[in-house]
């Protein structure tokens, strides 16, 4: 039996407007910043995939090792018949959950419609008893519009939540709580605070893949918004912020220069050395994230770490 797959899009003209408004605010603010979603065009997604296999980037391997060991217990504790993955990205960790849950339905929420169509088709073929629904949308905007019904496990893996600053994180977690029905569960992957040298190495890999990934955002803005960023006129830098407990990634202008963004009617003057933040990657403590979840109306039922204690999976439900 094969129940096949479907791909739907939630993106509206209003969302596009909001996205561009956020981009404008970030580019003209002091200091300048971009939203991480602009990093993920086809090439960006491919480069990120490469990052997950770098020797310095322990996050993906650590999370996968937890899922290998504990997915069966997660399945037993949640009793979920529907798996909803937010920001699905690479699907190998998804497979570990699908194998353990054998759900009736799998819903993948992702930005890129083309990547969704590809992965949905492949998963539908591999899991013929599971209905696969690819939803093109943004986890920051579309949680309330996801298919409901059944007993759902919402999974947000990979420490993607680390990209959100504390106010956006609080808002996102409240949206998750609102989206959950009684009996639903939320599975969150978080990278844990550790020695800064190891954290920094994960974002300053020797092969320069992270640098290429971050610089790629300028090509995305050039192509999608008609901007004229010269990627060779910027350098990539990562630093650990001990107060915020996050890695801050930015592109620094190598000279005084002016960049035009006709789609936003902007002309931006960059001074030599001026940074533009591309991402933060917040690191967590189990007690801290449990408190944030609680403030959003979510209670932790269990958490697991990998053997080295580098990464955690946290399971929560509505209080
Ligand atoms: C996808 C946000 C989890 O912060 O580790 C990795 C993104 N950027 N290397 C992370 C990223 C550069 C990644 N997240």
- Phi, psi dihedrals of residue 305, rounded to the nearest 5°: -125, 165
271 Cα to the center of ligand 1, angstroms:
27
What gap in Å lies between CA 162 and CA 159, rounded to an integer? 5
pLDDT in tens, 37-61: 999 999 999 999 999 999 999 999 9
Residue ID of nearest Cα to ligand 1 atom 10: 281
What gap in Å lies between CA 196 and CA 123, rounded to an integer? 38
Split at pLDDT 50, 70, 90, the class of 11 is confident
What gap in Å lies between CA 260 and CA 272, rounded to an integer? 17
Residue from 49, 155, 240, 279 to probe ligand 1 pocket by mutation (most atoms less than 8 Å from CB) = 279
Q: How many residues does the chain have?
A: 319
What residues does ligand 1 touch, defined as CB less than 6 Å away? 51, 59, 158-160, 162-163, 203, 210, 213, 279, 281
The predicted model scores a pTM of 0.97
Residue ID of nearest Cα to ligand 1 atom 14: 160
Task: Provide the percentage of residues in the chain whose pLDDT is more than 70.
Answer: 98
1 has pLDDT over 60: no
Domain ranges of the chain: 33-39+196-282, 54-192+284-318
290 has pLDDT over 90: yes
Residue 144, classified by CB atoms within 10 Å of its CB into exposed (0-12), middle (13-18) or buried (19+), is exposed
114 Cα to the center of ligand 1, angstroms:
21
286 Cα to the center of ligand 1, angstroms:
19
CB 271 within 8 A of CB 152: no
Residue ID of nearest Cα to ligand 1 atom 2: 160
82 Cα to the center of ligand 1, angstroms:
27
Per-residue confidence (pLDDT) for residue 90, from 0 to 100: 61
Q: What's the rounded mean pLDDT across residues 157-169?
A: 97
CATH superfamily to which 54-192+284-318 belongs:
Vaccinia Virus protein VP39 (3.40.50.150)
pLDDT in tens, 253-280: 999 999 999 999 999 999 999 999 999 9
């Amino acid at each position: 039996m094969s129940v096949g797959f479907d791909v739907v899009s939630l993106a509206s003209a209003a969302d596009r407007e909001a996205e561009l408004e956020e981009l404008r605010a970030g580019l003209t603010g002091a200091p300048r910043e971009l939203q991480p979603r602009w990093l993920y065009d086809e090439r960006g997604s491919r480069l990120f995939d490469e990052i997950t296999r770098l020797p310095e980037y322990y996050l993906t391997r650590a999370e996968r090792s937890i899922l290998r060991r504990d997915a069966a217990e997660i399945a037993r504790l949640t009793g979920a018949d529907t798996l909803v993955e937010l920001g699905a990205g690479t699907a190998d960790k998804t497979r570990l959950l699908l194998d353990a849950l054998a759900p009736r339905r799998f819903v993948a929420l992702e930005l890129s419609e083309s990547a969704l169509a590809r992965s949905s088709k492949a998963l539908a073929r591999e899991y013929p008893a599971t209905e696969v629904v690819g939803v093109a949308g943004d986890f920051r905007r579309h949680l309330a519009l996801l298919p409901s019904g059944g007993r759902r496990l919402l999974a947000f893996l990979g420490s993607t939540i680390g990209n959100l600053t504390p106010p956006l994180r609080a808002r996102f977690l409240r949206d998750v709580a609102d989206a959950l029905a009684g009996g639903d569960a939320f599975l969150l992957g978080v990278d844990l605070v550790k020695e800064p040298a190891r954290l920094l190495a994960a974002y300053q890999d020797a092969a320069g893949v992270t640098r290429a990934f971050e610089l790629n955002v300028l090509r995305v803005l050039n192509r999608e918004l008609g901007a004229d960023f010269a990627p060779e006129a910027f350098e990539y830098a990562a630093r650990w912020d001990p107060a915020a407990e996050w890695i801050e990634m930015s592109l620094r202008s190598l000279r005084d220069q002016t960049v035009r963004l006709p789609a936003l009617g902007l002309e931006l003057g960059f001074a030599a050395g001026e940074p533009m933040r591309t991402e933060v990657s917040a690191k967590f403590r189990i007690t801290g994230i449990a408190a944030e979840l609680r403030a959003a109306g979510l209670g932790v039922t269990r958490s697991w770490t990998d053997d080295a204690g580098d990464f955690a999976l946290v399971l929560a439900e509505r209080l």
